[in-house]
């Protein structure tokens, strides 16, 4: 992507809960952050929006990279660590981007969001050995991914995108459900980026036209 993309949006859940273990972070995760930093320093605007699985990543990313915790601004290049969502103009289109876990009203997601965003939860998590903590996070991610398409969540996301489009957005980009979607809704588009585990999918907006692509090695 270096010197090819104007902007890169990461819609959360790129990492699991491991960033509370500052001395036990998998090498692959560190390499990903290093690559993102290189991409950011090359002039690509990198926007990291937090998901429900990597909400604790904020402090580590701020320390280990030059990403800054501020809201996205049109035309601003650099690493931006945003809270949950962002509204931006891309190729003349008004675009809304968010991970989307706050759209998900299922009991499991609501419970996990409450636990993970509590200021006390990270301290409790640190009491677990890293092997146990990482095993738990991977199990939790697998359960959430398998349930995404069976609890009516996809319909909630489409309805959310439709509402945003009626508010004046041209493109609504969401994540969370791990299923790639490209849907024309009236005058706008709803995009869901899918995931890198099963579908290897990602979204592209080029010349004002959105599309879904798959990464092929």
- Residue 22 confidence (pLDDT): 54
Interval 70-114: pLDDT, tens: 444 444 555 666 678 889 998 889 999 999 988 887 776 666 666
Decide if 2 is inside a domain.
no
Decide if 100 is inside a domain.
yes
Burial state string for 174-188 with b = 16 or more CB within 10 A and e = fewer than 16:
bbbbbbbbeeeeeeb
- Residue 75 confidence (pLDDT): 45
Decide if 89 is inside a domain.
yes
How many structural domains comprise the chain?
Answer: 1
Decide if 40 is inside a domain.
yes
Interval 153-211: pLDDT, tens: 889 999 999 999 999 999 999 998 888 999 999 999 999 999 887 789 999 999 999 99
- Residue 180 confidence (pLDDT): 93
Decide if 192 is inside a domain.
yes
Task: State the residue range of the domain holding 54.
Answer: 7-214
**Which parts of the chain are beta strand (E)?**
7-10, 45-49, 79-82, 85-90, 93-98, 171-174, 180-185, 188-193, 201-206, 209-214
Residue 77 burial by Cβ neighbours in a 10 Å radius (0-12, 13-18, 19+)? middle
Residues 6+ apart with CB under 8 A from 91: 205, 206, 207, 208
CATH value at residue 64? 3.60.21
Q: Which of 31-35, 87-91, 210-214 has the lowest mean pLDDT?
A: 31-35
- Residue 64 confidence (pLDDT): 66
Decide if 182 is inside a domain.
yes
Decide if 165 is inside a domain.
yes
Decide if 1 is inside a domain.
no
- Residue 181 confidence (pLDDT): 95
């Amino acid at each position: 992507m270096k010197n090819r993309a104007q902007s890169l949006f990461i819609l959360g859940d790129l990492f699991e809960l491991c960033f509370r273990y500052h001395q036990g972070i998998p090498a692959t995760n560190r390499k990903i952050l290093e690559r993102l930093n290189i991409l950011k320093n090359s002039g690509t605007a990198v926007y990291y929006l937090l998901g429900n699985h990597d909400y604790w990543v904020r402090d580590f990313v701020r320390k280990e990279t030059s990403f800054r915790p501020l809201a996205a601004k049109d035309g601003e290049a650099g690493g931006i660590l945003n809270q949950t969502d962002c509204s931006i103009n891309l190729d003349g289109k008004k675009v809304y981007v968010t991970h989307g876990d706050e759209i998900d009203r299922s009991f499991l997601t609501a419970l996990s969001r409450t636990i993970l965003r509590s200021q006390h939860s990270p301290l409790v998590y640190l009491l677990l050995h890293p092997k146990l903590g990482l095993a738990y996070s991977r199990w939790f991610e697998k359960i959430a991914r398998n349930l995404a398409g069976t609890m009516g969540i996809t319909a909630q996301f489409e309805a959310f995108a439709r509402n945003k489009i009626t508010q004046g957005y041209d493109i609504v980009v969401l994540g969370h459900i791990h299923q790639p979607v490209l849907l024309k809704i009236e005058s706008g588009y709803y995009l869901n980026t899918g995931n890198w585990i099963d579908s290897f999918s990602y979204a592209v907006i080029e010349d004002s036209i959105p599309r879904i692509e798959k990464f092929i090695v």
